């Protein structure tokens, strides 16, 4: 008896007749008649994104003139927080005076004991209210935006696309590094289909739209 690998592949070829010819052309011919590109203008797209975030129970702060720091301060005051973790390469200009910001590096337990985390994002999808996090060096590693109970995320208007296919097009460029998509705070409906917000991921998600 050969290896499990050889045997499974052999079973597959027996089952399919080993039809490998024309695979690429066949793949290219798969009908994709769904909507790929959005139709809304820039303002409509942002309005839709905000509407979706509201629907998930995320609080949205609109930053004026790309003044992220003021919105960060506003969000932290509203939540009664005095300090946040931040990834290594987060721009200093985003951090307001009067609060403590810790560059990442602590252990899981220290992250667990933190008041929350501030991160950027890579892409956002308006139609589904999805925020895409990319976890490369310098950007928040996965544990950082996951373990704390509070996640404050900065999204720039230029990062917002309308449709899921447009979002995936952007994500393809960094498909080889870890990606997390988030659509609202963690949630469950496992008990009598009653939506409970906040299970293991952050229970509170605030978004700064700059």
Partner 1 sequence: MSTYVGDAANAPKFQTAAKTLVNDTQVRHNVRHATGVIRRKRAKVVGEMADWEQLRESGHEIKQHVMRHLDFYLDQFEKSCTAAGGTVHWARDADEANSIIVGLVKAQQAKEVIKVKTMTSDEIRLNAALEAAGITPFETDLADLIVQLGEDKPSHIVVPALHRNRMEIRRIFLDKMNLPELSDKPEDLAAAARVYLREKFLRVPVAISGANFAIAETGSVCVVESEGNGRMCVSLPRVLISLVGIEKIIPTFQDLEVYLQTLPRSATGERMNPYNSIWTGITPEDGPQVFHVVLLDNGRTKVLADREARETLDCIRCGACLNACPVYRQTGGHAYGSVYGGPIGAILTPQLQSMEHSQTLPYASSLCGACYEVCPVKINIPEILVHLRNKVVERGDAPFLEKMAMKAAAYVLESPEHLKRARKLGRIAQSPFAKNGVISHLPGGLDAWTAVRDLPAIPEQSFREWWLKREREAG
Residue list 120-149, contact with partner 1 (CB under 8 A): 125, 127-130, 135, 137, 141-143, 146-147
CB-based contacts of 149, cutoff 8 Å, min separation 6: 116, 198, 202, 203, 204
- Cα dihedral 86, 88, 89, 91 in deg (nearest 10): 40
Residue 139 main-chain phi, psi, to 5 deg? -85, 165
Binder among 31, 43, 80, 97 for partner 1 (CB under 8 A): 31
Q: Which is nearer to partner 1, 96 or 184 (CB)?
A: 184
Kindly identify the residues of this chain, within the stretch 168-197, that bind partner 1 according to CB under 8 A.
Answer: 168-169, 171-172, 175-194, 196
- Binding flag, residue 106, partner 1 (CB under 8 A): no
Residue from 43, 80, 109, 158 in contact with partner 1 (CB under 8 A): 109
Q: Cβ contacts of residue 45 below 8 Å, gap of 6+?
A: 38, 126, 160, 161, 162
Rounded least distance, CB 173 to partner 1, Å: 10
Q: Would you count residue 16 as binding partner 1 (CB under 8 A)?
A: yes
Examine residue 2 and tell whether it contacts partner 1 (CB under 8 A): no
Choice from 87, 96, 116, 201 touching partner 1 (CB under 8 A): 201
Under the criterion CB under 8 A, does residue 113 sit at the interface with partner 1? Answer: no
| DSSP reduced 3-state for 77 | helix
| Shortest reach from residue 2's CB to partner 1, in Å | 11
Q: Residue 119, interface with partner 1 (CB under 8 A)?
A: no
Rounded to 5 degrees, φ, ψ at 156 are -90, 145
What is residue 59's three-state secondary structure?
strand
**Would you say 68 or 125 has its CB closer to partner 1?**
125
Counting contacts by CB under 8 A, is residue 57 touching partner 1?
no
Is residue 200 involved in binding partner 1 (CB under 8 A)? yes
Q: Give bridge partners of residue 151 from the DSSP assignment.
A: 117, 205
d(CA 105, CA 87): 9
């Amino acid at each position: 008896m050969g290896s499990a690998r050889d045997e499974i592949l052999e079973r597959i070829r027996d089952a399919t007749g080993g039809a490998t010819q024309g695979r690429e052309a066949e793949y290219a011919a798969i009908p994709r008649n769904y909507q790929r590109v959005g139709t809304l203008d820039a303002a409509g797209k942002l309005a839709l994104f905000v509407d979706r975030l509201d629907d998930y129970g995320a609080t949205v702060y609109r930053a004026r003139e790309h003044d992220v720091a003021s919105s960060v301060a506003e969000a932290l005051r509203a939540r009664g927080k005095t300090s946040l973790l931040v990834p290594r390469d987060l721009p200093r200009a985003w951090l307001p005076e009067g609060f403590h910001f810790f560059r990442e590096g602590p252990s899981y337990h220290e992250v667990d004991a933190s008041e929350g985390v501030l991160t950027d994002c890579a892409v956002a999808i308006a139609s589904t209210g999805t925020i895409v996090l990319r976890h490369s060096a310098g950007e928040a590693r996965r544990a950082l935006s996951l373990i704390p109970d509070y996640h404050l995320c900065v999204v720039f208007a230029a990062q917002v696309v309308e449709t899921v296919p447009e979002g995936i097009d952007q994500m393809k460029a960094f498909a080889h590094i870890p990606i997390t998509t988030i659509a609202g705070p963690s949630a469950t409906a496992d008990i009598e289909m009653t939506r409970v917000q906040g299970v293991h991921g952050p229970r509170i998600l605030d978004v700064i739209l700059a």
